[in-house]
Structure 1
């Protein structure tokens, strides 16, 4: 089931949890994603100004994807009212 992420802090928590579940250190994840360790630290801390391009790289290494849906999508999936 997809995880609903609504804040930078929650994204950071999910990244940290997934990284640890894969037994990766922050430096290992940074190297694999081609980003700096500071970026991983900032991402996991929920810093709201991290670069989307780098977030996508990290998610790819973690085997995660990013999906966007709108409230219209939810209504369509639930059926007409």
Structure 2
């Protein structure tokens, strides 16, 4: 079910929940997504300077996607 994500902290919490639901440890997800464990820790903690490209790699690895809603047409 879609859920609104409006902060990096909420995104990090979602990633942590999904990782745990899939029975993955942080090192497992880091290896699968091609990132470091430290990066996974920082994203799950909601660090605002996380590299967005790597965040998308992590989301893809977990089978998650991003849907942007409410944009006005110019």
Q: Does TM-score exceed 0.5, indicating one fold?
A: yes
Q: Which residue of 1 aligns with 2:57?
A: 57
* Residue 72 of structure 1, CA deviation: 3.8
* Residue 71 of structure 1, CA deviation: 4.8
Post-superposition, which runs of at least 4 consecutive aligned residues in structure 1 deviate over 6 A? none
- How many pairs does the alignment contain? 73
CA radius of gyration, larger in: 1
Cα deviation, 1:14-37, whole Å, max 9, x if unaligned, reads 000000000000000000000000
Structure 2: gaps spanning 5 or more residues: none
Q: Which residue of 1 aligns with 2:43?
A: 43
Cα deviation, 1:29-72, whole Å, max 9, x if unaligned, reads 00000000000000000001101100010001100001112254
Structure 1: gaps spanning 5 or more residues: 74-81
Q: TM-score, normalised by structure 2?
A: 0.92
Q: TM-score, normalised by structure 1?
A: 0.85
Please give the secondary structure, in 1, of the residue aligned with 2:20.
Answer: helix
- RMSD of the alignment, in Å? 1.3
